[in-house]
């Protein structure tokens, strides 16, 4: 098979770093933490055109369409004051997209995303929804225009007309508000309300693009309602607890033929699998259709002509299993041409389409996009997400399984730096946020690979309470903040020492949000393990999560505070003593190690008061606290300049504490 190159990045002046330079020094911080140069690639329904977002340092992301027959690329939409964000094909002629200013932090943002449509040749441009400031673009005179809080439905419709579904997402702080669904004509701007249950918060379309299913939420209960067609009444299908474990809980994944609905369910087992559900009877099949050994199912079903053709899944890494023999052969052909990467195929709506989009990646290679021509059996490379990254300088990854002190199996991702012997390395224990989510997957990530490129081993434990590894693993983390969840992180660290990967004198713990909380509690509970800590936007006071603060708004809903947090975290009255014992703010006097802290002044998830109080409390007994505040940032650092600044600080901090220029412990107080 021949691999050709369209390489849009080069066409627009975004060439990768020369190999001779890449081999000399590790990639710059900017190479990791600038916005991707190429992203959001999507094939048109016929497969004859590919649309993507192209950007560069100091330039706005623009929307580009490539004609795969003529190999010509054309910029069809760009703005001087904002960036293209989400892009969908309406049909083979027309695209719809929204925007987001990627040069502004959360607190500085004064506009909504807007909504726009344009033909693939750049004509018939139309603004469909306002930005927050109420302005309509010049050159787009029109009467009908939607409000700023209208957003695209992420699932595409039939892609055979000028109509799309959009959501009216107006929301009051602290409330779970129902979402209004509309059908919108992208040529005329006319919209129509869609009948749906009053407390609906999400949707699922069938294979013909018809709205058939709605998710509801209220008073701690999640529900699913379905209908047989556009004019049929809605009827309940399922109702279950929204935030904790309910053995009757299901999650709809995709529609098949007739009355078949594919759902994710546990059906009495520890792991969640894919089942067929008959909508007429409301019953699941007795046996699962797709199970992943050792993991809850997470992924996407590929339905072709109403039949299940394949499944994209996530185990330690993404992967695909094809049931259709032609698609299985297609995957094998592409894998033979790209043997060093995991190759995820995106099929256009037309089953007879000549072209297939390929997203190729590995642990050491950021995603690149190719178009595969099924007739010519050629691959055209259309773009690299991070073109300045040299794969030979990235760290190799692997998932390991560790036995915690009580015998629970704890998965963890271990990344080891390249060109170094994997023994006695300085190590960063990187703790994921959430905490009730899955934190790792095999594949290139900027933060992890940046640390590995600087010579650090990186260990990421999936401590109890993490999701994706079964009900037992999830439930074992309930009400265990600072307790057994923290022990799992320490046990994983000790495993790395025992295996010889980590130098026991050069280990730093780090993380954001809950990971920031775990960093602080790691310094409190296990001072002999961790030489230093790096935490950003971290929770420091568990009680404050429940009560909030008069001076700061937060985005936690009243529903989650009332029905979710007491089960998962604890009761602020009944568990007051435990909250005190496991809140870093109450244990600040026990932190004696060097600490780097960073917070966003506009954070609505973990308001700034968490950081300022903790900083002041630690500094009463420990002057080795470095503090940085990004006044306009939210829960995470959105602006590239701020990300680059933060990780520059992390690099210098780690270098002094556990790197090549580390300061001896006896000299710490003299800094």
Residue 203 within any structural domain of the chain: no
Q: Where are the alpha helices (DSSP H) in 143-282?
A: none
Looking at residue 11, its pLDDT comes to 35
Sheet holding 299-304, edge to edge: 299-304, 307-314, 318-322
Q: Please report which helix (H) or strand (E) contains residue 511, including its range.
A: strand 502-512
Residue 630 exposed, middle or buried by CB count within 10 Å (0-12, 13-18, 19+) = buried
The DSSP bridge partners found for residue 43 are: 50
Helix (H, G, I), strand (E, B) or coil at 576: helix
Give the count of beta carbons closer than 10 Å to the beta carbon of residue 418: 17
What is d(CA 310, CA 176) in angstroms, rounded to the nearest whole number?
A: 35
Closest C-alpha among 493, 467, 463 to residue 480: 463
In residues, how long is the chain?
671
Task: DSSP letter for 90, please.
Answer: S
Per residue in 79-115, pLDDT (tens digit) is: 999 999 999 999 999 999 999 888 777 776 666 789 9
Residue 20, pLDDT score:
44
Residue 427 near residue 502 (C-beta atoms within 8 A): yes
* Per-residue pLDDT at 139: 43
Tell me: cis bond preceding 642? Omega within 30 of 0 counts: no
Total of domains in the chain: 1
**558-563-566-568 Cα dihedral, nearest 10 degrees:** -110
Buried b (16+ CB within 10 A) or exposed e, 468-505: bbbbebbbbbbbbbbbbbbbbbbbbbbbbbeeebbbee
CA Rg value for the chain: 25
The mean per-residue pLDDT over the stretch 589-613 comes to 95
The DSSP call for residue 358 is E
Give the Cα separation of 56 and 75 in Å (integer). Answer: 14
> Taking 70 as the threshold, does the pLDDT of residue 173 lie above it?
no
Average pLDDT over residues 483-507: 98
Torsion 412-417-419-422 (CA) sign: negative
Question: Chain-wide mean pLDDT for the chain?
Answer: 90
Secondary structure of residue 608 in the 3-state scheme: coil
Is residue 543 included in any domain, yes or no?
Answer: yes
Rounded mean pLDDT, 172-190: 80
Strand partners, 70: none
On whether the CB atoms of residues 539 and 518 are closer than 8 A, the answer is: no
Distances (CA, A) of 508 to 92, 364, 456, 535, 590: 52, 23, 10, 11, 17
253: nearest Cα among 191, 317, 198, 296: 296
Whether 35 maps to a domain, the answer reads no
Nearest to 517 by CA among 415, 428, 586: 586
Q: Report the predicted TM-score, pTM, of the whole model to 2 decimal places.
A: 0.92
Cα 1 to Cα 109: distance, rounded to the nearest angstrom:
48
Structure token pair of residue 18: 């020369």
pLDDT of res. 16: 41
- The answer to whether position 492 is within a domain reads yes
Q: Tell which residue, 466, 415, 434, has the closest CA to residue 296.
A: 466
* Ranges assigned E (strand) in 161-278: 163-168, 180-185, 191-193, 200-205, 211-218, 221-226, 235-241, 250-255, 260-265, 273-278
> How many alpha carbons lie under 13 Å from residue 39 in its C-beta half-sphere?
15
> Do 254 and 303 touch, CB atoms closer than 8 A?
yes
CA distance 91 to 84: 19
Phi, psi dihedral angles at 637 (to 5 degrees)? -105, 110
The whole-angstrom separation of Cα 606 and Cα 633 is: 12
Within a domain: 560: yes
3-state secondary structure 278-341: ECCCCEECCCCCECECCECCCEEEEEECCEEEEEEEECCCEEEEECCHHHHHHHHHHHHHCCCC
Give the residue among 490, 543, 497 at the shortest CA–CA distance from 521: 490
Residue 469 belongs to some domain of the structure: yes
Cβ atoms within 10 A of the Cβ of 528, count?
A: 8
Residue 453 lies in a domain: yes
- Write out the two tokens for 292: 């992943």
Pick from 136-150, 415-429, 462-476 the range whose average pLDDT is largest.
462-476
Q: For 419-435, write each residue's pLDDT tens digit.
A: 778 899 999 999 999 99
pLDDT above 70: residue 9: no
* DSSP output for 392-429: GGSPEEEEEEEE-TTS-EEEEEEEE-TTS-SSSEEEEE
Nearest to 489 by CA among 472, 510, 504, 469: 510
Q: How confident is the model at residue 312 (pLDDT cuts 50, 70, 90)?
A: very high
Nearest to 295, CA basis, from 310, 277, 312, 313:
313
- The pLDDT value recorded for residue 299 is 96
- The domain that holds 528 is classified in CATH as 3.40.50.1820
Higher pLDDT, 651 or 145: 651
φ, ψ of residue 331 in degrees (nearest 5): -60, -45
Q: What confidence category does residue 347 fall into, taking pLDDT thresholds of 50, 70 and 90?
A: very high
Rounded Cα distance, 5 and 370, in Å: 9
How large is the average pLDDT for residues 207-215? Answer: 92
Please name the helix (run of DSSP H) or strand (run of DSSP E) that holds residue 614, with its range, or none: helix 609-619
Print the domain residue range for 554. Answer: 394-665
Whether residue 195 is contained in a domain is answered as no
Q: Distance between the two ends of the chain, CA-based, in angstroms?
A: 60
Q: What is the DSSP letter of 518?
A: H
What lies within 8 Å, CB to CB, of 231 at 6+ separation is: none
Instruction: Give the pLDDT score at 245.
Output: 86
* pLDDT tens-place string over residues 272-309: 999 999 998 889 999 999 999 999 999 999 999 889 99
Token duo for residue 102: 């990627």
Least confident segment among 15-19, 89-93, 391-395: 15-19
């Amino acid at each position: 098979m021949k691999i050709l190159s369209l390489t849009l990045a080069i066409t627009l002046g975004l060439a990768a770093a020369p190999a001779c330079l890449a081999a000399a020094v590790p990639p710059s911080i900017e190479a990791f933490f600038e916005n991707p140069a190429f992203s959001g690639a999507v094939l048109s329904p016929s497969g004859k055109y590919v649309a993507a977002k192209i950007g560069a340092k100091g330039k706005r992301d623009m929307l580009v369409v490539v004609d795969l027959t003529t190999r010509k690329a054309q910029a069809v939409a760009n703005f001087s004051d904002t960036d293209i964000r989400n892009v969908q094909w309406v049909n083979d002629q027309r695209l719809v997209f929204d925007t987001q200013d990627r040069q502004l932090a959360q607190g500085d943002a004064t506009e909504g995303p807007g909504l726009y449509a344009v033909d693939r040749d750049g004509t018939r441009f139309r603004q469909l929804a306002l930005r927050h400031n109420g302005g309509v673009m010049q050159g787009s005179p029109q009467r009908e225009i939607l409000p700023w809080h209208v957003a695209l439905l992420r699932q595409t419709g039939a892609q055979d007309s000028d109509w799309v579904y959009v959501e009216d997402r107006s929301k009051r702080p602290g409330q779970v508000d129902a979402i209004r669904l509309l059908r919108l004509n992208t040529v005329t701007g006319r919209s129509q309300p869609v009948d749906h249950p009053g407390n609906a918060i999400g949707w699922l379309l069938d294979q013909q693009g018809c709205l058939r299913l709605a998710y509801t939420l209220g008073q701690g209960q999640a529900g699913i309602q379905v209908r047989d067609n556009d004019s049929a009444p809605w009827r309940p299908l399922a109702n279950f607890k929204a935030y904790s474990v309910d053995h009757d809980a299901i999650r709809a994944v995709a529609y098949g033929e007739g009355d078949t609905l594919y759902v994710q369910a546990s059906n009495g087992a520890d792991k969640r699998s894919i089942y067929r559900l008959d909508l007429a009877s409301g019953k699941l099949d007795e046996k699962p259709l797709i199970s992943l050994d050792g993991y809850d199912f997470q992924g996407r079903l590929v339905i072709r002509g109403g039949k299940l053709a394949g499944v994209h899944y996530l185990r330690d890494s993404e992967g695909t299993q094809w049931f259709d023999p032609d698609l299985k052969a297609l995957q094998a052909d592409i894998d033979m041409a790209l043997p060093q990467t995991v190759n995820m195929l995106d099929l256009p709506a037309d089953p007879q389409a000549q072209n297939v989009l390929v997203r190729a990646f590995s642990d050491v290679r950021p995603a690149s996009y190719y178009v595969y021509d099924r007739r010519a059996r050629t691959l055209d490379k259309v773009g690299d997400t991070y073109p300045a990254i040299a794969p030979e300088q990235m760290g190799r990854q692997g998932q390991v399984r560790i036995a915690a002190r009580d015998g629970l199996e704890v998965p963890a991702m271990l990344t080891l730096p390249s060109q170094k012997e994997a023994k006695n390395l300085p190590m960063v224990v990187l703790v994921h946020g959430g905490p009730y989510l899955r934190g790792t997957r095999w594949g290139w990530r900027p933060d992890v690979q940046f640390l590995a490129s600087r010579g650090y081993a990186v260990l990421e434990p999936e401590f109890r309470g993490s999701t994706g590894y079964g009900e037992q693993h999830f439930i074992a983390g309930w009400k265990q903040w600072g307790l057994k969840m923290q022990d799992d992180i320490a046990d994983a660290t000790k495993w790395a020492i025992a295996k010889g990967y980590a130098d026991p004198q050069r280990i730093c713990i780090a993380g954001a949000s809950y990971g920031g909380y775990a960093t602080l509690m790691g310094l409190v509970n296990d001072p002999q393990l961790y030489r230093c800590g790096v935490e950003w936007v971290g929770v420091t006071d568990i009680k404050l999560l429940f009560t909030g603060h008069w001076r700061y708004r937060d985005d936690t809903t009243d529903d989650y505070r009332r029905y979710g947090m007491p089960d998962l975290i604890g009761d602020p009255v009944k568990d007051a003593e435990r909250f005190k014992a496991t809140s870093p703010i109450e244990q600040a006097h026990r932190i004696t190690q060097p600490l780097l802290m960073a917070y966003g002044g506009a954070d609505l998830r973990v308001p700034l008061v968490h950081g300022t109080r903790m900083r002041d409390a630690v500094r009463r007994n420990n002057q080795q606290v470095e503090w940085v505040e990004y006044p306009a940032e939210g829960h995470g650092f959105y602006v590239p300049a701020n990300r680059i600044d933060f990780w520059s600080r992390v690099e210098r901090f780690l270098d002094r504490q556990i790197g090549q220029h580390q300061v001896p412990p006896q000299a710490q107080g003299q800094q």
